[in-house]
Amino acid sequence: MVKTLLTLLVASAALFATDGYEIYKKNCMSCHVEIMKKSDALANLQTLKAPPMVEVSGRIKENIIIKDDDDDVHRHIFILFVKDYIENPQIEYSMCNPGAIEKFGTMPKLKNKLSAQEKEAVAEWLYDRYEDVVFE
């Protein structure tokens, strides 16, 4: 009995945890490919609807510079930027290069499609997934 209860508890905890990768697959993958080499991206530009996520993650990480080089602050600012961009994508705030914006257009608003928890989870995933992965 105790064992059954424990199993149930563990199963429901897993059920309620928001998995950033699942959120990505459901809401972002239709436009942003998860991983791709730069040469393949350039060769297949016509079939892409948006920059690959590996590129998005790398560029935002590179562009956000924390003066004292604090990794936790860097990750936090990255997450804030991504959560805001999902709600409110604007050409002025995009870090995409102008050629890509011209090709893809600005990202559509996904404002009411994701809960606050889902936005947080997918933004964290976008940072952590590409921890040691470079778009090259």
Instruction: Name the residue nearer to ligand HEC (CB basis): 8 or 62.
Output: 62
Least distance (Å) from ligand HEC to the CB of residue 75?
14
**Interface of this chain with ligand HEC, residues 90 to 109, rule: CB under 6 A:** 94-96, 101, 104-108
Considering the rule CB under 6 A, would residue 31 count as an interface residue with ligand HEC? yes
State which of residues 85, 127, 130, 135 lies at the interface with ligand HEC (CB under 6 A). Answer: 85
> Can you tell me the distance from the alpha carbon of 44 to that of 2, in angstroms, rounded to the nearest whole number?
55
Q: Which residues bind ligand HEC (CB under 6 A)?
A: 27-28, 30-32, 49-51, 56, 59-60, 82, 85-86, 89, 94-96, 101, 104-108, 110, 122, 126
